[in-house]
Amino acid sequence: MTSPHVLTIDSLVTQIYESQDNLSHGAAQIGQKYIDKVLENQAEATIILATGNSQLQFLDILIASQKIDWSRINLLHLDEYLGIEGDNSASFRFYLHERVEKRIHPKSFNYLIGDALEPIEECDRYTKLLKQYPIDLCCLGVGINGHLAFNEPQVANFDDPHWVKIVQLDQQTRWVQVRQGHFKTFEQVPQYALTVTIPTILSSKKIICLAPGENKAETIKQMLQGAISPECPASILRQHSDTTLFLDEKSAKLL
């Protein structure tokens, strides 16, 4: 595999690979080595996972390597649609159960319950879990509108007092879910979601962020060359002390 081109913008290390395949292998290798290092120094580790198409190959490689002692890993995830059932194929619980949990045996897998009867209580429950399991590694993607998790530009708060909250989804985000085939119609996409907040993400000791594809090029340009602002929530990663952004040549083409 050809070595990536490396840029450092503010505190953010950016690696640019020839292809999404190389990007996924590079990110998985760095993630696996970091987890091994963490487990050398502590009894267990916590990883918070993203979902979405950008994560598929990365997760497959990470799991297939069989180099991680998952029995010492506590897993959480970033977000979930409000009101959606866990057996709905569009839910992130379903995605993670099928693609991750069924293939490994983690110490714990802690899901955000989208169809909880009391969503605010669910936010509180998940907040307690996040406080119980400080995040060693956060795996992220970047939305077309620059969102991290479901911290959309109109609701992202870099000084958010909440760890987990309920947000209204941007129309652009909802349309992406239709185009990717997760829902048949725009009306079927939930209007609201539960999400961990920006400060929660930034509390992670290390962040790996994957953003491949030509459709992310404009967003990446704004993220890296524009102002650090909630208008592009992902721009805040430039201030995190240990984040690596993984791009392919298509997503980096405007840099």
Which amino acids are annotated catalytic?
A: 79, 145, 147, 152
d(CA 68, CA 36): 7
Report, in this order, helix, strand and coil percent for the chain, each rounded to 5. Answer: 40, 20, 40
Helix (H) or strand (E) holding 12: strand 12-17
Task: Determine the longest span between alpha carbons in the chain, in angstroms.
Answer: 50
d(CA 223, CA 203): 20
CA 58 to the chain's CA centroid: 12
DSSP 190-228: -SEEEEE-HHHHHTSSEEEEE--SGGGHHHHHHHHHS-S
